Structure 1
Amino acid sequence: MSDTPSKPFRTPWPGSVSRPVVNPLQPSVVYASDDPDALDAQYEGGAKGFTYAREGHPNAEVLGQMVDAMEGAKGGVVTGSGMGAVTVALLGTVRAGDHVLGADQLYGRSLRLMNEELPRLGIATSLADPTDVAAFEAAIRPETRLILIETVSNPTLRVADVDGIIAMALARGVLVAVDNTFPTPRGCQPLARGADIVIHSVTKLMAGHSDATLGYVAARDPDLAARFLTLAVSMGFTASPFDCWLAERGLYSFDLRYERCTATAARLGDALADMPGVERVLYPARSDHPDHNRSISLLGGEGGHMVSFEIAGGRAGANAFVRAAEGLNFAPTLGDIATTISHPATSSHRALTPEARAALGISEGFFRISVGCEPADALIATFDTAVRAACEV
């Protein structure tokens, strides 16, 4: 009996004179070439093609080009997570003996990367107030190679003096990386303001549906951008084709979601400020925000989709608030199409001591809200009920 198969093991993809309206998902890990010369041509840049998914795949390329267009970048790298993008930006820029100066209100995992992992690799780090250029300038050392800031901090929504820090760093020959996740490219474009590197957690509002984990990092300098790509490939920061495909879908509705969420967040911030039991509200577009004037020039007067606020009652009040916020997800995430509630003391900043959290303004009654696309009136009514429940504790 012959071992010759009656049909090919791999059936060729059918040809068609028409084309799909939706870009196809391409989960293949490997790509076949015609011969060694063809493979050489791909690796040497003489022909366009894919070889192995860790080195790139069609879905990541499409997504990267879409975010590039939004950020005014070229050659941005899509990674498997937002922290993957932060790590590529850091490790692709600095080496043992260098110093990294970071904002003191970075996302919790970014702080842990700064405080625990980089020093282990022989990279010195320190933190300063990103709203105070003088504090950043005073913290610069001769070996400072990179500054890492967030446009709007997580979770206290402080607005960094991006323009001032960039100008100071340029004069000192120091690179500036800006995590632009909260405002998104609709709110701010750091590269256009002179930043050297821009970072995103695409997982959040850009993808927008809590079903894709992705990051993005781009550099102004083409050589640095190429280094980021090489590092991401070598260290395996590969993005899933499926997640990239989902995020591409999310970006098609991004503008609509951004506008709806931002408008509702502004209304929610004002409503919370009038509720008994709410001790403070942080929303950049409000006149009582400590960085309001800066937010006007940096964010174009828009406050974005994030609102933070504080209620009385400590942990008991926080528990009562969450339990009474029916229909809203209590989850350590943001950017979903639906509103989510986050409690930084038990999620993003739980690794900090109570004293360190207090220094940042994060108490047991502090909440970060990622506003979604629900009807504003219904959302405000839910928060009113939940705040009242917290006041009864």
Structure 2
Amino acid sequence: MTDRSDDPQVEPTLIRPAVPPRTASRPVVTPIMPSVVYASDTPDALDAQYEGRAAGYTYAREGHPNADALAARLDALEGVPGGIVTGSGMAAVTAVLMSLCRAGDHVVGGDQLYGRSLRLMREDLPRLGIATTLADPTDVAAIEAALRPETRLVLIEVVSNPTLRIADLDGIAALCRDRGVILAVDNTFTTPAAIRPAEHGADVVIQSVTKLLAGHSDVTLGWVAARAPEHAEAIRTFAVTTGLTPSPFDCWLAERGLLTFDLRFERAQATARRLADHLAGRAGIESVLYPTRDDHPDRGRAQAVLQGQGGHMVTFTLEGGRAAANAFTAAAEGLAFAPTLGDAGTTLSHPASSSHRALSAEERAAIGISEGTFRVSVGLEDPEALFAAIDGGLAAAVEAAG
């Protein structure tokens, strides 16, 4: 190493530059800003930021440029301003429940929520003094019967996971509005390409950005927005206080993924419709669920709520139970057997061994999940190649079922 300490042309400098380089142009792509801390000019300037009189960043747990850039795009997609990005979809769900509810309150949840949301409802909220009840969101009368004087919030998904049942969103929204209850809707399955719950009366909208919005299985993020300013501020404060902070790099990746979201949604949805028809009536298939099919139990509501959109998810049940399920996944070459959805590639999920494994066999059966039930998150493959891979798995499943 050369000693340049005596070089008169080299001036000693501070470790951190005072300002970033200035240029006459600007980046086309949002820069990644991994800085955890941001410097202010004076204490008065910092006061102005904290008091809302000046825009700026202080500490990344409280917000950073990549999270705000992503949030602005998600706000526009869902039609709700002021949303925040969180470290995961479950972080968004948790921020809603823990910021808007307190001990002594009661929460009603859809009985087919995402598995971890169900666990939160069944175990964690009651442990903290928040009572919970699960009810069928396809039946507004069931939701109404579950309400109590102390009910604070109702949490539902528009389309249930994994049975693809369609919630009576408009009816539940009217009920909550009449009773003064907050309605929170997890829109992960449907996405804003199919429905914008706030336009149907939802007070809070939640997304797991990890899934179809980001679309490449390489980020873990959530998003939540509330229409009432006091709810939005409560959610933001809880998320900041408890460190539900998103990674700048994940936010950058998700923002890039959103640029192709509409295209990916349309391609996957078109293939999903074809896949549902392809599976129906085939040997070894007990049932197929897809919202736009005539045999879907909520087809009328699907048409009214989703307005012809069916989404990218298909659920089917194999004859032959677990043996057939094992044979199917082993033989469906090229299809990832993974507990996720929304990837660019098609993935297979087996709820009984993944998302809903915490439920007993009887509880799963009550909501239509058996050992032969699979949820397919349709990707961007050539449809014929996808059908061939599925058919290979079906042939093995039929053989295993005897």
Give me the TM-score of the superposition, normalised by structure 1.
0.98
* CA deviations over 1:228-257 (Å, ceiling 9, x no partner): 111100111111111100000000000000
CA RMSD of aligned residues (A): 1.3
Question: Gaps spanning 5+ residues in structure 1: where?
Answer: none
Shift of 1:8: 2.6
1:114 matched residue in structure 2: 121
Q: Give the counterpart of 1:222 among 224, 229, 232.
A: 229
CA contact (8 A) 2:333 2:392 kept: no
Q: Give the counterpart of 1:9 among 15, 36, 48.
A: 15
1:8-87 equivalences in 2 (<5 Å): 8-11=14-17, 12-87=19-94
Shift of 1:17: 1.1
Shift of 1:13: 2.7
CA contact (8 A) 2:219 2:253 kept: yes
Query: How far apart, in 2, do the equivalents of 1:101 and 1:37 lie?
Result: 46
1:272-351 equivalences in 2 (<5 Å): 272-351=279-358
2:207 matched residue in structure 1: 200
1:187 matched residue in structure 2: 194
* CA deviations over 1:252-311 (Å, ceiling 9, x no partner): 000000000000000001101132111100111111111111011111111100111000
Opposite residue 234 of structure 1, the aligned amino acid is T
Opposite residue 245 of structure 2, the aligned amino acid is T
1:131 paired with 2:138, answer yes
Query: How far apart, in 1, do the equivalents of 2:25 and 2:150 lie?
Result: 58
1:210 matched residue in structure 2: 217
* CA deviations over 1:124-148 (Å, ceiling 9, x no partner): 0001111001111111111111001
Query: How far apart, in 2, do the equivalents of 1:5 and 1:113 lie?
Result: 58
Corresponding residue SS for 1:185: coil
Query: How far apart, in 1, do the equivalents of 2:176 and 2:82 lie?
Result: 24
Query: How far apart, in 2, do the equivalents of 1:93 and 1:10 lie?
Result: 41
Shift of 1:14: 2.1
Query: How far apart, in 2, do the equivalents of 1:13 and 1:332 lie?
Result: 43
Opposite residue 259 of structure 2, the aligned amino acid is Y
Opposite residue 352 of structure 2, the aligned amino acid is A
Corresponding residue SS for 1:145: strand
Residue identity over aligned pairs, in percent, reads 66
Opposite residue 15 of structure 2, the aligned amino acid is F
1:168 matched residue in structure 2: 175
Opposite residue 323 of structure 1, the aligned amino acid is A
Shift of 1:7: 2.6
CA contact (8 A) 2:211 2:343 kept: yes
Opposite residue 293 of structure 1, the aligned amino acid is G
Shift of 1:381: 1.4
Query: How far apart, in 1, do the equivalents of 2:152 and 2:234 lie?
Result: 16
Corresponding residue SS for 2:374: strand
Query: How far apart, in 2, do the equivalents of 1:45 and 1:217 lie?
Result: 21
Shift of 1:5: 7.9
Q: Give the counterpart of 2:276 among 257, 269, 273.
A: 269
Highest CA radius of gyration, 1 or 2?
2
Q: 1:120 to 1:5 in 2, by over 3 A?
A: farther
Opposite residue 276 of structure 1, the aligned amino acid is A
1:388 matched residue in structure 2: 395
Corresponding residue SS for 1:178: strand
CA contact (8 A) 1:275 1:384 kept: no
Query: How far apart, in 2, do the equivalents of 1:338 and 1:303 lie?
Result: 18
* CA deviations over 1:75-94 (Å, ceiling 9, x no partner): 11111000011111111111
* CA deviations over 1:346-389 (Å, ceiling 9, x no partner): 10011111111111111111001100000111111111111111
Opposite residue 256 of structure 1, the aligned amino acid is L
Opposite residue 165 of structure 1, the aligned amino acid is I
Corresponding residue SS for 1:184: coil
Opposite residue 221 of structure 2, the aligned amino acid is L
1:158 paired with 2:147, answer no
Shift of 1:6: 2.2
Corresponding residue SS for 1:187: coil
Moved over 4 A (4+): none
Opposite residue 256 of structure 2, the aligned amino acid is R
Query: How far apart, in 2, do the equivalents of 1:221 and 1:382 lie?
Result: 47
1:378 matched residue in structure 2: 385
Q: Give the counterpart of 2:107 among 100, 104, 117.
A: 100
CA contact (8 A) 1:178 1:190 kept: yes
Opposite residue 292 of structure 1, the aligned amino acid is R
Query: How far apart, in 1, do the equivalents of 2:330 and 2:30 lie?
Result: 41
